[in-house]
Every structure is written in C-alpha cells, then in structure tokens.
C-alpha cells in the first residue's frame, strides 16, 4: 500500500466511532499514539508505522502536539489525513498552549471539517520550558476542564482527558489529581488516557480512587523501551519516575542495544498483562512513530 494514499481496506461506517463505546466493549481496546513529523524523512517513517499498525485494527489513534504546543499545524494536518485517508478513528489532541478561545474554536472547526469527533483536551505544557511556570494566553483558558467544556459546547464531540498515575508535576498529591479528574469528568469528559506507565500499582491506585467517585474509564499509556537515554529524558520531561526494578533491568543490558530492546518489550508485556488482568479497559501504546516493538508487545498479549 503506497504511503499516504487512501486506504484500500474497507472503511468503518464513519470516522466518528465512539471511543467510550470501544472501551466498554467485551475485549480490551488497543490504541496507538504518534507524534507529528519534523521533516520529509520522518513523515515517511510516520506513515509507514501508521500503515503497519492499521492492520491491527486499533480502536483509535492519536497524534500529539509537540512540547509547548510547538507542532499544532502539523498535528492538525496529520490528524486530518488519518481521518480522510485511513480506516482509523482519530483522537485529535488539543491544548490550551498559546491559544486564544477563538483560535481553539478554529482548530476544533478544522477537526470537525475532516469528520473528527473525538478530541483529547489537554492544558498542555508551558512553551519553551515544560517545567516552567504555566501562564495562560490572555484570551485563552487556564485549565483542561475549561477546554473540555468549550469543546463540548461546540458540537457533538466525545472528549477525553489526560491522567497522571505518578501525580502531575504541579500537583501536591494524588488526591489533588483525583479531584482534577473528577472536575474534568463533570465538565463533560467521558474517558481518560494516562501518561506512560512503568508501575502498574500506580495506575491501579489512580483508577480505583477515581472509580469511587465517577464512571470514567482510564486507559494506561504504555511505551516499549528501545533506547535507555531516550526513556530517561522522556521520564524527566513527563515527571514519570522509573521504578528501580525497571532501571536495574535496563541498566543490565545497557551496553547491548538489542538486549535493551528485548528487555523493554518484556517489561511492557508484563505491565500490559497485569493491567489488563486487573481490569484496564485497554492499552494505549506510545509508539514513537515506530511499529516493530509495539507489534511485538501486542503479539505477546494474544488479544
């Protein structure tokens, strides 16, 4: 199948398939996250991964904004292409970063014009320094629950939100994060996707605390590690601590890239198996625009 051309596979009834319906289904939901390409070469790699993972028939796929909302235009463009040229259901990312309410309305309109009806509403990270102070746009929004409410007011959209099993870097404690998720649900969010998980107990703890208050399905994010330096950097940026057991297993293989990759797939398989056995509605794979390791983990799960 030629990269980027309309899919020859049978299309679903429409690109607006409900993500919450998938999450409530009898089998676990599998989904994939991509990031927008930086140049022509990375765009080719992205579309190769999309086409390879399309064959798995995931419940949905998402395309992130870059750090600080730096890739908004490319994110919208790739999401539109996924909606128009593949059999996949896109989950469109939307953040408050550097955006007025009028600009946010415009982006939602672009998504809607492509048939997209599932949106992941995020506050987003401060531009320039993801650990810097958050300063909202003077004509924009300050919190994700406000963005959820805005999107819901603009049409028939299903809205998802982010969740942080290891506590958001700006949050004082887990209970604060639980209350934040409750506010997002009350604003109209119908599902959540977590940051990458390396400790199943952290995910289960957050899920159970939220479930005591609201019916909000929370899907864990999972990233098969293939590069130790890369995952250490991402862990730092996302505020997701790596458990010592994970660090030790990766460190033991650090001098052998193939061994690191094998250990990463093994860890991801163990985490996914445990979380699915404990009732997670699915797994959201953070693919880094590569398909091989993700497909290996998926195959190990025998879904």
Catalytic positions, written as ranges: 33
With beta carbons less than 8 A apart as the criterion, state whether 104 and 173 touch: no
Task: Give Dmax (Cα) for the chain.
Answer: 53
Residues 6+ apart with CB under 8 A from 221: 33, 193, 194, 195, 196, 197, 284, 285, 286
Residues in a beta bridge with 222: 285
With beta carbons less than 8 A apart as the criterion, state whether 293 and 261 touch: yes
What does the CA dihedral 215, 192, 163, 248 come to, rounded to 10 degrees? 110
Q: For residues 148 and 122, what is the distance between their CA atoms, to the nearest angstrom?
A: 8
């Amino acid at each position: 199948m030629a990269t980027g051309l309309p899919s020859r596979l049978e299309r679903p009834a429409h690109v607006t398939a409900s993500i919450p319906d998938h999450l409530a289904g009898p089998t676990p939901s599998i989904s994939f996250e991509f990031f927008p390409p930086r140049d022509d070469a990375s765009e080719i790699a992205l579309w190769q991964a999309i086409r390879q993972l399309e064959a798995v028939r995931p419940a949905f796929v998402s395309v992130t904004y870059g750090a600080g909302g730096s890739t908004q235009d490319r994110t919208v463009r790739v999401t539109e292409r996924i909606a128009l040229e593949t059999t996949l259901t896109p989950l469109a990312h939307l953040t408050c970063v550097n955006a007025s309410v009028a600009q946010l309305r415009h982006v939602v309109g672009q998504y809607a014009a492509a048939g997209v009806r599932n949106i992941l509403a995020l506050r987003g990270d401060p531009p320039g320094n993801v650990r810097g102070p958050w300063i909202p746009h003077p004509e924009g929004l300050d919190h994700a629950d406000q963005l959820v409410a805005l999107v819901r007011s603009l049409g028939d959209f299903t809205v998802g939100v982010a969740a942080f099993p290891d506590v958001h870097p700006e949050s004082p404690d887990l209970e604060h994060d639980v209350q934040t998720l409750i506010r997002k649900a009350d604003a109209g969010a119908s599902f959540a996707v977590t940051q990458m998980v390396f400790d199943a107990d952290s995910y289960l703890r957050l899920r159970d605390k939220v479930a005591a208050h609201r019916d909000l399905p929370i899907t864990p994010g999972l990233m098969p590690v293939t590069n130790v330096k890369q995952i250490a950097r991402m862990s730092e940026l996302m505020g997701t601590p790596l458990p010592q057991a994970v660090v030790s297993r990766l460190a033991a293989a650090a001098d052998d890239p193939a061994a690191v990759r094998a250990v990463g797939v093994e860890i991801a398989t163990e985490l996914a198996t445990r979380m699915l056995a404990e009732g997670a509605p699915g797994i959201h794979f953070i693919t880094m625009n590569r398909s091989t390791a993700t497909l290996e983990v998926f195959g190990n799960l025998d879904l």
